[in-house]
Amino acid sequence: MIDGFEEFDVQVPGASIHGRRGGSGPPVLLLHGFPESHVMWHRVAPALAAEYSVIATDLSGFGDSTSTGEYSMRALAQHQVEVMRTLGYDTFAVVGHDRGARCAYRMALDHPETVTQLAVLDIVPTVEAFDRADKNFALGYWVWSFLTAPIAETLIAGAPDEFVNHLLDTWAADDAFPPEIRAEYVRHFRDPATVHAICEEYRAAATTDCTHDAADRGVKRITCPVLALWDPSGAVAHWYGNPLDIWRQWADNVSGTTVNAGHFMAEEAPAETLEHLLPFLRDA
């Protein structure tokens, strides 16, 4: 579903990672958000592939990737590093959206020798989000607290189409998802193993991921250049003011701005997203 890209599956300790690759040049890893898969990059990846070797993967447990029970972002990041090494890349840039951005910044913290550049789309660090959580957060990001097992899995399994389409329509500025893309996202939520893994990943966010972030805050810093992009009318802008101020508490070299789109900017406004990503990547 990404023109000119070939599919692959890579076995790593603790997971099987599915993805697509295309293009040539310096390597760039694209990590998707929720409730999507790697095909969320279908409007961005081909343009990046004109200058870069582009690898777009499903996070462990998401999409057509699997997981054997490790759900922290530290584990997910390790899986992606192993995939890139298997494909022949010891260093690479990472672009992440939503959950993929959380995996990406954890990767930059845990593997500073590996990540050359980091772009994070529409997030602030996980512990910062939970530390500032309030009524608006609970209502707006209700999936973050939709955690009780097996209630969450059971309810999602009962209405996967409604669940996925509600999320897409709530967080998108426009109808940015063609029917075949929506169908692809829904397909994964019909798989009980995928739903369970995603729920477990959200449970890890509220526990293990926050613990890892809290231990690193003020101790470790992201040493590679960071680009932060966000929706000017969305939750990140409304709740955190200028998210660059938060990212500068975590990284030495931070730039960024808003994209005139909703949460799913790579699908809603691919041209404008590329206008920011390409100069950032070229600066390397």
Active-site residue set: 98, 263
Looking at residue 130, its amino acid is F
Q: Torsions phi, psi of 104, nearest 5? A: -65, -45
The β-bridge partners of 17 are 10
| CB neighbours of residue 59 within 10 Å | 32
Q: For residue 279, what are its two tokens?
A: 């100069």
**Residue that has been written with the tokens 């998707």 in this structure:** 32
User: What is residue 188's three-state secondary structure?
Assistant: helix
| Dihedral-angle region of residue 72 (phi above 0 means left; psi in -120 to 50 means alpha; beta otherwise) | beta
226/41 Cα distance (integer angstroms): 20
226/232 Cα distance (integer angstroms): 19
8 A C-beta contact, residue 268 and residue 172: yes
